[in-house]
């Protein structure tokens, strides 16, 4: 009888511990669920440098151009490569010209599956496999296998997440294809970087403001994916201070932004360096 009671007490103890474990797990999930942990206003915002290393628009005539997009984001703690263009030889050539050592990069963020954004990844991993690649969770297994085979690591992104200090991903937004953009909380305000903006560049800006709980945006940069001309007015309504459209934005829309934003329009293309201090 005593042995039986002891067994019952042990069983009850195990069930109680299991229940506590499940409760803690649920609490952890709630804390890490979508929604970005906003940086305290008391913390010092970082200076950042943005460098175009792959684009079909050209700022520095010594750089090679090709259809695609890749930008370096430098912070005091990280060097992040956002997208890899369509060709690793061009990507690595431009990086060398700009004095950027591939070994200095520890994180790559890929916006979406299209070849003009993923094409340089494999060749880059040949030069520096010591990389964590943040890819949309919708990516095919073949890309994931390639990253592992090259010696890299990957993190699948579906919801908004922190990538580095003051650098966040919007999480996958539906295009098609599904695509993530980056948000940098800089000294001057939010900087939103888009690869191709298939989910709609205005939608991405609205989503970033919602996630970061901000009314204004300092800069939106990248491919805007041939949006309607009405997006220029919508950017003003969204209180976007500066714009740097490139890649797949389209010349007509790009010129409309130039005319509207004047000195707040930034000519962005391969070789361009933007310092935000």
Hey, which residues does 194 pair with through a beta bridge? 222
**Average pLDDT in the chain:** 89
Report the alpha-carbon distance of residue 261 to residue 243 in Å, rounded: 8
Q: CATH no. for residue 122?
A: 3.60.15.10
Position 35 in a domain: no
Position 79 in a domain: yes
pLDDT, tens only, 111-156 = 999 999 999 999 999 999 999 999 999 999 999 999 999 999 999 9
pTM for the full model?
A: 0.85
pLDDT, tens only, 213-261 = 999 999 999 999 999 999 999 999 999 999 999 999 999 999 999 999 9
One domain for residues 176 and 85: yes
Position 152 in a domain: yes
One domain for residues 174 and 100: yes
Report the alpha-carbon distance of residue 162 to residue 77 in Å, rounded: 14
pLDDT, tens only, 24-77 = 333 222 223 344 554 444 567 779 999 999 999 999 999 999 999 999 999 999
Report the alpha-carbon distance of residue 62 to residue 152 in Å, rounded: 31
Q: How many CB atoms lie within 10 A of CB 37?
A: 11
Position 37 in a domain: no
Position 34 in a domain: no
Position 36 in a domain: no
Total domains, the chain: 2
Exposed, middle or buried, 28 (CB in 10 Å: 0-12/13-18/19+)? exposed
HEC secondary structure over 217-248 = EEEEEEECCCCCCHHHHHHHHCCEEEEEEECC
pLDDT of residue 250: 97
Range of the domain at 12: 1-29
């Amino acid at each position: 009888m005593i042995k039986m009671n002891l067994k019952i007490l042990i069983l009850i103890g195990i069930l109680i511990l299991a229940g506590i474990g499940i409760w803690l797990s649920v609490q952890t999930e709630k804390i890490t669920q979508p929604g970005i942990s906003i940086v305290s206003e008391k913390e010092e915002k970082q200076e950042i440098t943005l460098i175009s290393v792959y684009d079909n628009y050209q700022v520095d005539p010594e750089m090679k151009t090709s259809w695609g997009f890749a930008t370096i984001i430098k912070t005091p703690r990280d060097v992040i490569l956002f997208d890899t263009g369509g060709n690793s030889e061009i990507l690595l050539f431009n990086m060398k010209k700009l004095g950027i050592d591939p070994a200095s990069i520890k994180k790559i963020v890929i916006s979406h599956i299209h070849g003009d954004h993923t094409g340089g990844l494999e060749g880059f991993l040949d030069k520096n496999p010591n990389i964590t690649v943040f890819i949309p969770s919708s990516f095919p297994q073949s890309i994931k296998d390639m990253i592992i085979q090259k010696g890299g690591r990957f993190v699948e992104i579906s919801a908004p997440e922190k990538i580095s200090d003051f650098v966040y991903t919007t999480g996958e937004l539906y295009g098609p294809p599904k695509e993530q953009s980056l948000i940098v909380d800089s000294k001057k305000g939010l900087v939103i970087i888009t690869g191709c903006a298939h989910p709609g560049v205005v939608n991405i800006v609205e989503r970033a403001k919602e996630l970061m709980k901000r009314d204004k945006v300092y800069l939106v940069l990248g491919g805007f994916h041939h949006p309607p001309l009405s997006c220029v007015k919508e950017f003003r309504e969204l209180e976007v201070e500066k714009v740097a459209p490139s890649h797949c934005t389209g010349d007509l829309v790009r010129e409309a932004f130039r005319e509207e934003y004047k000195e707040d329009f930034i000519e962005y293309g391969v070789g361009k360096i933007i310092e935000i201090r």
